[in-house]
């Protein structure tokens, strides 16, 4: 049994919270700057920082312009999340860190490095110059942390620094325990089947894998089926699909919104195109679905190809999607929410004292910083 977190800080926001009296200061630089924390940075860095109460580290969020101008205190560690370094301040940020002996760590949860990946990302609206800054940074960092073993293999040829595996974990401050009963929306419209698909607005190609699925599943079940999208695409949505807009934009508020509506969905879907870029992604979506007690059906590719059976039913072609979703929906009607999947995630894929301490070691170069 892994050691559970004790005495962790408040869960109200995504930032690192009040710094502790500590022996080392870690500055977190994310793409949100001084605005809203991006979800990836919340999951990979800020939520871990909030679970660091009692540790010898103090965490603070940085504004890159303020740090580059020397208007903030000296850091022991500078943690750069993804492509957070703005082009205008990048050189001054790196030079200041070097002059003050600050250890620079880069965290990646996607392939932002290889040629085919950057070409794809620029086509989706990413800043080519910003990605070039990130690739240059790989030559100057002390450590790189990554979310999957596949991503580690892709990154290693681009850096001489150690590339360490830091799998995604859910924050128990957000996902464990039960929300107050009055905050949970009851299941309604029992004669309708609702499927959940959530993700960033870069999944148009993945969504296309589900074209026609609501109609085919409705025919099988003899009931209306609606695919509800949270994010996923900024483009047109296909027949049988509608958008849902959470009332909170930060990750902590988004999780509370999801959990409040968790009885709304009969099943969830995680389609994923079989591409080199997707091969290095993580199984985070399946962890979140399971923590909601919503049974998931996923493409048998990339991070989902070897997913634990507790997390998802695999589905390749259209017939397999319909078969797997029929099983998930009927099990939801017969057995209720997928409590076993939630229990598995809370036991195996949530932050613990040990996993947070290992992250601290990766940041500082101390214990827990193994490959």
CATH fold of 177-348: Rossmann fold (3.40.50)
Question: Does residue 40 have a pLDDT over 70?
Answer: yes
Q: How far is CA 112 from the centre of its chain?
A: 15
Overall average pLDDT of the 266-286 stretch: 95
> Could you tell me the pTM of the whole model?
0.91
CA quadruple 290, 295, 300, 301: dihedral sign: negative
pLDDT band, very low/low/confident/very high, at 20 (cuts 50, 70, 90): very low
Give pLDDT tens digits for 81-119. 999 999 999 999 999 999 999 999 999 999 999 999 999
Question: Does residue 19 have a pLDDT over 50?
Answer: no
CB 80 within 8 A of CB 107: yes
Q: What is the pLDDT of residue 39?
A: 94
Domain 24-173+350-364 CATH assignment equals 3.40.50.2000: yes
Q: Which residues pair with 29 in a beta bridge?
A: 80
Overall average pLDDT of the 273-282 stretch: 94
CB 59 within 8 A of CB 49: yes
Q: What is the pLDDT of residue 188?
A: 58
Structural domain boundaries in the chain: 24-173+350-364, 177-348
Q: What is the pLDDT of residue 271?
A: 96
> Quick check: do 24-173+350-364 and 177-348 share a fold?
yes
Give pLDDT tens digits for 186-239. 665 567 899 999 988 778 889 999 999 999 999 999 999 999 999 888 878 888
Question: Which residues touch 246 (CB under 8 Å, ≥6 apart)?
Answer: 230, 253, 254, 257, 258
Average pLDDT taken over every residue of the chain? 90
């Amino acid at each position: 049994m892994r050691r559970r977190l004790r005495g962790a800080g408040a869960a109200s926001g995504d930032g690192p919270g009040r710094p502790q009296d500590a022996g080392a200061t870690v500055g977190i630089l994310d793409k949100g700057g001084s605005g809203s924390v991006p979800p990836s940075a919340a999951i990979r860095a800020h939520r871990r920082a909030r679970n660091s109460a009692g540790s010898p580290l103090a965490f603070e969020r940085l504004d890159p312009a303020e740090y580059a101008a020397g208007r903030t205190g000296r850091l022991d560690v500078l943690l750069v999340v993804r492509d957070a370094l703005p082009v205008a301040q990048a050189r001054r940020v790196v030079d200041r860190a070097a002059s003050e002996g600050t250890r620079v760590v880069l965290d990646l949860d996607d392939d932002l490095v290889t040629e085919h990946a950057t070409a794809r990302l620029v086509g989706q609206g990413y800043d080519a110059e910003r990605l070039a800054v990130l690739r240059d940074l790989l030559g100057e960092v002390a450590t790189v942390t990554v979310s999957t073993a596949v991503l580690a293999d892709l990154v290693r040829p681009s850096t001489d620094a150690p590339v360490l595996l830091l799998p995604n974990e859910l924050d128990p401050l957000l996902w464990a325990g039960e929300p107050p009963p009055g905050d949970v929306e009851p299941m309604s419209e029992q004669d309708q089947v609702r499927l959940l698909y959530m993700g960033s607005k870069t999944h148009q190609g993945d969504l296309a894998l589900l074209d026609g699925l609501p109609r085919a599943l409705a025919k099988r079940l003899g009931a209306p089926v609606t695919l509800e999208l949270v994010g996923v695409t900024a483009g047109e949505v296909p027949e049988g699909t509608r958008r849902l807009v959470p009332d909170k934009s930060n990750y902590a508020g988004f999780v509370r919104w999801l959990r409040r509506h968790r009885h709304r969905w009969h099943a969830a879907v995680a389609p994923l195109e079989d591409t080199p870029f997707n091969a290095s992604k993580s199984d985070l979506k399946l962890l979140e679905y399971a923590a909601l007690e919503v049974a998931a059906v996923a493409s048998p590719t990339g991070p989902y190809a070897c997913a634990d059976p507790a997390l998802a039913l695999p589905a390749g072609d259209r017939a397999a999607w319909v078969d797997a979703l029929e099983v998930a929906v009927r099990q939801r009607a017969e057995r209720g929410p997928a409590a076993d999947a939630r229990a598995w995630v809370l036991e195996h894929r949530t932050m613990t004292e040990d996993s947070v301490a290992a992250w601290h070691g990766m940041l500082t170069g101390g214990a827990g910083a193994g490959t």
